[in-house]
């Protein structure tokens, strides 16, 4: 029997810290696209649908390539995968700074940046899961909080850089920073504790959990259940609105007569509030169950989108950001535990990745593009926001219907 002997210094905490910083850098820069949105429109005169479409393409490819990056991480380890992706991410932003035509923007941001972002979620979460048996949920919440921290820190820096140096020089700064910081940070990642001569944290408890980790649905079995597709469509309902907000809220605020400097505060507020949202709703999932907590998050999101319909002043948009940010942060944290609760752990990674690809990636890709098209036709985001309130209610109803499914009924 293996003793649970941990050295005084457990390297898993270094892996968690590095993963947090990587999330911060990668997603902070990525979600700064909304800050660059208006300068791109001003210089090139493209429609909002065309300009938003590049983010949709990038997010769609990020989701698809993320599954591949996860598989490559299983084979080669996170250090190699993250180093390669960090190179492509920095290169993509540097190329964007030289954009002169719309096809170049779609190629550089839509494809090259997406290749770099492929390692930003699944490989990092998968790596941290290998280091921790006990405290796995808490550690997962910490690294995902890096996304919120990135939204707080990077967009205001990007706005400041744009106001002083212009969007092209700002993307050069972002590209060089991503290239150096991500590639250097990746060198501290290790695939699993055995690489450092250590055991996973809490491995002495592993034997008691073997049965739960070796049973469950395969992907083929999961996709034959109504629960799988209910979860996918509910996530799609959420991410369509999420993507629209993150890409268009800055532009929407400016259209209401709010200054660019003030409008630039909205995304950081969403990011800041998403951090306690991730932590508190993760704790709520442990106490009241993941599915009830998931429904609560949908309630927050639906209320926030309804409030956005009447928000006309900065304080009202900040209040929107607070409500939306809390629900957004909590919901994104609960998806992985819900997949485990519904379908078991034996094929958790591939089922989780497929749910994210079909629901999360598709919604984030379609939402901003559709909202931009509606604006181009109507001259306002109001119709799009009304539509996303209705879609949010649909997502809330679907989330409330999620129930565990018995594996043996599908054998």
| pLDDT for 28 beyond 50 | yes
pLDDT digit string (tens) for 80-91? 999 999 999 999
Cβ neighbours, 10 Å, residue 310? 8
Give yes or no: residues 223 and 105 share one domain: no
Are 5 and 106 spatial neighbours (Cβ–Cβ below 8 Å)? no
CATH number at residue 140: 1.20.1250.20
Q: Domain for residue 343, yes or no?
A: yes
Region of residue 180 (phi > 0: left; psi between -120 and 50: alpha; otherwise: beta): alpha
Give yes or no: residues 210 and 186 share one domain: no
| pLDDT for 26 beyond 90 | yes
- Output the pLDDT for position 407: 54
pLDDT digit string (tens) for 137-154? 677 778 888 888 888 888
pTM value?
0.73
Which tokens belong to 383?
A: 């119709």
- Output the pLDDT for position 4: 47
Q: Which of 148, 170, 196 is where one domain is finished? A: 196
Number of compact structural domains in the chain = 2
Give the pLDDT mean for 253-264: 88
Higher-scoring residue by pLDDT: 306, 134:
306
Give yes or no: residues 44 and 161 share one domain: yes
Give yes or no: residues 307 and 349 share one domain: yes
- Output the pLDDT for position 215: 58
Give yes or no: residues 265 and 311 share one domain: yes
Q: Domain for residue 1, yes or no?
A: no
Residue 322 domain boundaries: 205-406
| pLDDT for 18 beyond 90 | yes
Give yes or no: residues 214 and 244 share one domain: yes
Q: Domain for residue 3, yes or no?
A: no
Higher-scoring residue by pLDDT: 222, 126:
222
Helix axes 314-343, 266-288, angle to 10 degrees: 40
Give yes or no: residues 281 and 148 share one domain: no
Averaged pLDDT of the chain: 83
Which tokens belong to 21?
A: 């910083």
Give yes or no: residues 47 and 108 share one domain: yes
pLDDT over 90 percentage in the chain: 27
Q: Which of 177, 196, 215 is where one domain is finished? A: 196
Worst-scoring range by mean pLDDT, 42-56, 138-152, 187-201, 239-253? 187-201
Q: Domain for residue 2, yes or no?
A: no
Give yes or no: residues 192 and 209 share one domain: no
- Output the pLDDT for position 371: 87
- Output the pLDDT for position 246: 81
Q: Domain for residue 5, yes or no?
A: no
- At 133, which helix (H) or strand (E)? none
Give the pLDDT mean for 306-312: 90
């Amino acid at each position: 029997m293996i003793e649970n002997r941990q050295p005084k210094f457990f390297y898993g905490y270094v892996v968690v810290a590095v993963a947090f910083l990587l999330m911060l850098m990668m997603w902070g820069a990525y979600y700064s696209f909304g800050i660059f949105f208006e300068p791109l429109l001003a210089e090139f005169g493209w429609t909002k649908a065309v300009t938003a479409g590049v983010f949709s393409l990038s997010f769609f490819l990020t989701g698809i390539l993320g599954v591949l990056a996860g598989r490559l991480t299983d084979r080669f380890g996170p250090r190699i995968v993250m180093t390669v992706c960090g190179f492509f991410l920095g290169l993509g932003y540097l190329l964007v700074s030289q954009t002169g035509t719309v096809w170049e923007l779609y190629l550089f941001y839509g494809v090259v940046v997406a290749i770099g972002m492929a390692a930003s979620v699944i490989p990092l979460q998968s790596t941290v899961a290998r280091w921790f048996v006990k405290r796995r949920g808490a550690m997962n919440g910490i690294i995902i909080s890096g996304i919120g921290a990135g939204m707080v820190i990077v967009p205001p820096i990007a706005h400041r850089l744009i106001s002083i140096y212009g969007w092209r020089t700002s993307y050069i700064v972002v590209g060089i920073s991503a290239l150096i910081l991500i590639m250097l940070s990746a060198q501290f990642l290790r695939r699993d504790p055995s690489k450092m001569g250590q055991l996973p944290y809490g491995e002495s408890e592993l034997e008691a959990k073997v049965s739960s980790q070796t049973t469950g649905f395969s992907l083929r079995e999961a996709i034959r259940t109504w629960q799988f597709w209910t979860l996918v469509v509910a996530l799609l309902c959420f991410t369509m609105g999420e993507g629209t907000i993150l890409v268009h809220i800055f532009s929407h605020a400016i259209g209401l007569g709010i200054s660019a400097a003030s409008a630039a505060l909205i995304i950081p507020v969403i990011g800041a509030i998403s951090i306690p949202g991730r932590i508190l709703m993760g704790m709520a999932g442990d106490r009241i169950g993941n599915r009830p907590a998931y429904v609560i998050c949908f309630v927050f999101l639906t209320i926030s989108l309804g409030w956005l319909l009447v928000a006309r002043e900065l304080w009202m948009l900040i209040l929107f950001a607070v409500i939306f940010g809390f629900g957004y942060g909590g919901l994104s944290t609960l998806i992985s535990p819900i997949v485990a609760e519904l379908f078991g752990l034996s094929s958790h990674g591939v089922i989780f990745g497929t749910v994210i690809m079909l629901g999360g990636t598709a919604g984030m890709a379609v939402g901003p593009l559709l909202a931009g098209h509606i604006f181009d036709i109507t001259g306002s985001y109001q119709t799009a926001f009304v539509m996303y309130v209705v879609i949010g209610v649909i997502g809330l109803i679907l989330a409330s219907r999620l129930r565990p499914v018995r594996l043996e009924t599908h054998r």
